[in-house]
């Protein structure tokens, strides 16, 4: 598997023995004009990369907080095309990677090749499409590879040993380790099985393993990151941005 620019960027962070913190935001929540300021704020807080969610009417992987944010963004007429166009306007002002998280339907409607080209034009480094299974990811892999964009793959607690092996062999950028059996959203704790699962993935993977889904406190982020290479935090970041709790976001990002 050839190295993408995202692989190289994250490898450099690992080489400095630092943990990787990736906040998730919902593009268009509160209006698309806020996107630039939100991204530059999170970068200033010390985020290693930012996952930018595209609002979708049927977000099967997302819990209530992100669903509500998507609803607010859709009410603002936020589209995949509009988000990529907005990202392109300030690409020279960003220094950290942007990862687009979307579902396949908006990509299909846009056109896979148009999507990949627009991502490249916006200087997007990675893409997460949770409803595209491994068996069908050749729908997007060719055009993404052509544009040096990593396809981030997810592994779950219910994935078989054989499937995990296949995914880790084909993984790019980082391995997204889903730490709950369900949708995104805050959880009060994680059991020992989750920690063993993260350690196992870390042993198998040649690229960073990041824990996501359900991480909502500094303590959880720090604890889970101790078993892998870092964390992705979505619902809590989305909630605090909506509530303008900027100081809380700064503290959470600096905790890992």
The tens place of each residue's pLDDT in the chain, 256 residues long, gives 568 999 999 999 988 999 999 999 999 999 999 999 999 999 999 999 999 999 998 877 677 899 999 999 999 999 999 999 999 999 999 999 999 999 999 999 999 999 999 999 999 999 999 999 999 999 999 999 999 999 999 999 989 999 999 999 999 999 999 987 655 555 555 778 899 999 999 999 999 999 998 888 899 999 999 999 999 999 999 999 999 999 999 999 999 8
131 is catalytic: no
Pick the catalytic residue: 7, 37, 43, 62?
62
Q: What per-residue confidence (pLDDT) applies to 213? A: 87
Q: What per-residue confidence (pLDDT) applies to 243? A: 96
Pick the catalytic residue: 7, 29, 51, 223?
51
Domain boundaries, the chain: 5-254
Q: Is 177 left (phi over 0), alpha (psi -120 to 50) or beta?
A: beta
51 is catalytic: yes
Q: Looking at the domain covering 5-254, what would its CATH class be?
A: alpha beta
Q: What per-residue confidence (pLDDT) applies to 216? A: 85
In the block, residue with structure tokens 């993984």: 171
Q: Is 30 left (phi over 0), alpha (psi -120 to 50) or beta?
A: left
CA dist 7 and 11 (Å) reads: 6
């Amino acid at each position: 598997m050839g190295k993408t620019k995202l692989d190289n960027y994250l490898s450099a962070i690992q080489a400095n023995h630092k943990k990787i913190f990736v906040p998730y935001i919902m593009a268009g929540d509160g209006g698309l004009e806020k996107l630039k300021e939100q991204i530059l704020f999170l970068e200033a807080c010390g985020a290693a990369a930012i996952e930018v969610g595209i609002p979708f009417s049927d977000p099967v992987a997302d819990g209530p907080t992100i669903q509500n944010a998507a609803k607010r963004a859709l009410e603002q007429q936020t589209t995949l095309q509009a988000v990529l166009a907005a990202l392109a306007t300030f690409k020279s002002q960003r220094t950290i990677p942007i990862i687009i998280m979307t579902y396949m339907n908006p990509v299909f409607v846009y056109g896979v090749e148009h999507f990949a080209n627009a991502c490249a034009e916006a200087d997007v480094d990675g893409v997460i499409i949770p409803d595209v299974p491994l068996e069908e990811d050749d729908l997007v892999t060719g055009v993404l590879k052509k544009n040096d964009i990593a396809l981030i793959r997810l592994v779950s607690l219910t994935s078989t040993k054989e499937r995990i092996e296949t995914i880790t062999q084909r993984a790019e950028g980082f391995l997204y380790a889903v730490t709950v059996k369900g949708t995104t959203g805050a959880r009060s704790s994680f059991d020992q099985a989750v920690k063993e699962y993260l350690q196992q993935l870390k042993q198998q993977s040649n690229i960073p393993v990041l824990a996501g889904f359900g991480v909502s406190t500094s303590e959880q982020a720090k604890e889970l990151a101790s078993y892998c290479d870092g964390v992705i935090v979505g619902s809590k970041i989305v909630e605090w941005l909506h509530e303008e709790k900027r100081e809380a976001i700064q503290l959470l990002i600096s905790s890992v």
